[in-house]
Structure 1
Amino acid sequence: MLRPHLFCILVLSGIVSATGISASGAAEPNDPSKDPWPGLVQDIFSNRPMSDGSDVIAIEMPYRAEDAAIVPVTLRSKLAPDDSRRLKAITLVIDQNPAPMAAKFEIGSDTRVSEISTRVRVNSYTDVHAVAELSDGTLHVVKTYVKASGGCSAPAAKNAEEARNHIGQMKYRQFARADQGPSNGAREAQVMIGHPNNSGLQMDQITHLYTPAFFVDELHLWQDNSPVLSMEGGISISEDPNIRFTYVANGAKTFRAEARDTSGHVFQKEWKVDDSGS
C-alpha cells in the first residue's frame, strides 16, 4: 500500500504522468506496448506464479463507468461447493491508477465469504485484475476492462466541513434477518464508513492546492470474536467506503467493526446481529 507521504513524493516527481495522466490532469489513452501488469506482478506479488482464475473467481465492473469516482466492483467466488480449498485473500489491482493496488481482502477461515462488493476510483482506461489466493497457497487471476477517466482527481462529493462532521460514522445493514432462517446460515451484510478518502490528487478549487492523501487503510470485521473480513485499502477506494459481502453466520449475537485511517484515527462500532444498524 502506498502511504500518503510517499504518494505525494511520487506526484511531485512526475511518476503519476507515466500512468496515463497528462500535465493538465486529463486522462490519455493507454499505450498497449506499456502494459504495467508484469511489473505489478513483481511489485505486489513478488513474481509468484499465477494460474487462470476463471473457475475460481469472477470480477464484475461496468465496461463504461457512469461516474469514474464511484465505479462499482463485485468479486465473487466460483469455487464448487465440494472443493476442499477456500478463498484466503483477494487482491484488487487497477492497473493504470497512480497507486494500482486498490485493496486486499483477507477472509476469515470459518466464514466462507463468497462475494465482496465495493466502489472504486478509476483514473484512466484500464485493465482491472483480481487475484485470489487459496488456502493451498496458489494464486489465480482474472481481469476485466473499464473505460473511465479522472476518478482519482474528481472533487469530493461533500464539502470539507460536511466531510469532517461525517468522519468515522459507521453503519451496518444485514439482508437476512434472524427470524428468516437459521442463525448459522448464509447472510449478506454491508458496512459503510463516513470518510472523505482523499486520494492526494484532488485540487482545492479555491486555493489550487492539492488536498493531502487521507484515507481508510484498514478495516476489520468480526462476528463476536471470530474474524469475518479484513481490508487493506488504498487511494482507489471511493469516498465513504462501502463494503457489501456474503458470509456464513456462526450464531454470534454481535457484529463488530474497526477501521483505521492514514492519520491514525481509529473508529469502532458494534451492532446486534438482528439490528439493521441504521
Structure 2
Amino acid sequence: MLFKLTITAILATLCAGPVWATETAQNPLQSSATWDDLRGDVVGDAQLASADDLLSIDAPYRAHDAATVPIVLKQLDDTATISAATVVIDDNPAPVAAVFGFGKDMGVLDFEMRVRVNQYSNIRVIAETQDGLFMTGRYVKASGGCSAPATKDPEAALAGMGAMKLRQFAGDSVQMSIPRREAQIMIRHPNYSGLQRDQITQLFIPAHFIDHMEVWQGDALLFTMDGGISISENPVFRFAYNDNGAAVLVIKATDTEGNEFETVLPKSVNG
C-alpha cells in the first residue's frame, strides 16, 4: 500500500477552462529537485516503474485558471487493477494533493478531478497495482492557485456547504455485458487553503477543506479520497464505473472542522 502522508503532517512541514497541449509530449514530467526531496516521504524506498503503458494523463500545458486545473486519468492496460493513486503537485505548499483508493466496480480507470497549482510544477500520479507502483505525470504552467481569492460571498459558501449534486450519463450500457456508466459528483465546499485572504479584512482565511470522501454504489465502495488544500473549491469528480444495479450512489465526506456530510443520490440518466 502506498505510504499515506497525513494532510496535517504535510501542512506542518511544508507549509481552469484548460488549454490542452496538442500532444502530451509537449508537457512531460521534468527533472525536479523538489521531488527528489519528497520521494522518500511519499513512497519510501519502493521502486517506481514508468506508468506510460498503464495510465495516460491529460493536463493543460498552460492553465487558464490555476485554481481549477483539470486532470484526467485514463487507464491504458485493461489487464491491470489500479487499486490506489496518489496525486502529487511537486511545488505546491502541500505537495500531496490527494490519495485515492478504488473499488473493483470502478473497473478500467477513467477519472477526472480539479486541482490548484501554485506555481509551474510537475503533477505526478503514482498508481498502485498488483504488480507494484507506477508513476507518470505532466508539467503544468500555472501560478497562484493556492492563494487565488476565495468565493466572493463567504457566508453563502458556508451556508450551502456540503450540498451535493450528481450528473449521470448513459455510458456504454448497450455495448457491454456489464453496464458501464459515467457520473459527475459536485460538492459545495470552499476548501479554503489557508493561503487566501479575506477580501475585506485582508487577513488570511484559516484552512478548511474536505479531508475524506467516500462514494458508494449501494453497498459497494467505488472510491475514497483523502485530500488536502490542493483540491479545488467546490470539488468536482467525474468518473466511469461498472453499474451493479444499485438504485443510488451514496456520498460521504468529512472536513477539517469536523463536519460530516452524507447524501443519497438516485441514479438517473440526465446527461
1:95 is aligned, of 86, 90, 93, to 90
Aligned 1:228-239 pairs, distance under 5 A:
228-239=222-233
Aligned equivalents of 1:39 and 1:189: distance in 2? 37
Once the two structures are superposed, the pairs formed by residues 112-127 of structure 1 within 5 Å of their partners are 112-127=107-122
Q: 1:74 aligns to what?
A: 72
For the pair shown, which has the larger CA radius of gyration, 1 or 2? Answer: 1
**1:199-210 superposed matches below 5 A:** 199-210=193-204
Q: Separation in 1 of the partners of 2:69 and 2:31? A: 26
Residues 1:106 and 2:101 aligned together: yes
The answer as to 2:166 corresponding to 1:168 is: no
Which residue number corresponds to residue 55 of structure 1? 53
Query: How many Å apart are 1:166 and its aligned residue?
Result: 1.7
Determine which of 135, 146, 160 is the counterpart of 2:140: 146
Q: How far is the alpha carbon of 1:181 from its aligned partner?
A: 7.2
TM-score normalised by structure 1 residue count: 0.84
1:227 and 2:221 correspond? yes
**In structure 2, do the counterparts of structure 1 residues 33 and 51 end up closer, same or farther at CA, with 3 Å as the change threshold?**
closer
SS of equivalent residue, structure 1 residue 163: helix
The answer on 1:45 being equivalent to 2:40 is no
Aligned length: 253
- CA change 1:117–1:177 in 2 (3 A) is closer
- Residues 165-194 of structure 1, C-alpha deviations (whole Å, 9 max, x = no match): 220100111111898677941111011110
Q: CA deviation at 1:111?
A: 3.1
Q: Which range is displaced more, 157-166 or 42-51?
A: 157-166
- Choose the corresponding residue for 1:261, options 235, 248, 255: 255
**CA 1:4–1:154 in structure 2 vs 1: closer, same or farther (change >3 Å)?**
farther
RMSD across aligned C-alpha pairs, in angstroms? 2.4
Among residues 130, 134, 137, which one is paired with 2:129 in the alignment?
A: 134
Per the alignment, in what secondary structure is the counterpart of residue 154 of structure 1? coil
Q: Deviations over 1:29-52 (max 9, x none)?
A: xxx886111222211111311001
Amino acid at match of 1:124: Q
SS at 2:37's partner residue? helix
Q: Are 1:183 and 1:250, in contact at CA under 8 Å, matched by a contact in 2?
A: no
CA distance in 1 between counterparts of 2:31 and 2:53 reads: 28
Summarize the Cα distance change of 1:185–1:33 in structure 2 as closer, same or farther, 3 Å threshold: closer
Asked whether 1:249 is paired with 2:243, we answer: yes
What is the alpha-carbon distance in structure 1 between the residues aligned to residue 244 and residue 188 of structure 2?
28
Change beyond 3 A, Cα 1:127–1:179: closer
Identical aligned residues as a percent: 43
Q: What is the CA deviation profile of residues 102-138 of structure 1, one whole-angstrom value per residue up to 9, with x for unaligned ones?
A: 11111002431511111110000011101110034x0
1:192 and 1:34 mapped to 2: Cα distance? 33
**Letter in structure 1 aligned against 2:38:** L
The runs of 5 or more residues in structure 2 that have no matched partner are 16-29
SS of residue matched to 2:42: helix
Q: CA 1:264/1:113 → structure 2, altered by over 3 Å: closer, same or farther?
A: farther
Please list every run of 5 or more consecutive structure 1 residues that lacks an aligned counterpart in the other structure.
Answer: 17-31
TM-score (norm 2): 0.86
Partner Cα distance (1:169, 1:264) in 2: 16
Shift of 1:75: 1.2
The separation in 2 between residues aligned to 1:125 and 1:96, in whole angstroms, is 7
Pairwise CA distance, 1:253: 1.5
Quote the Cα distance in structure 2 between the aligned partners of 1:207 and 1:4.
Answer: 26
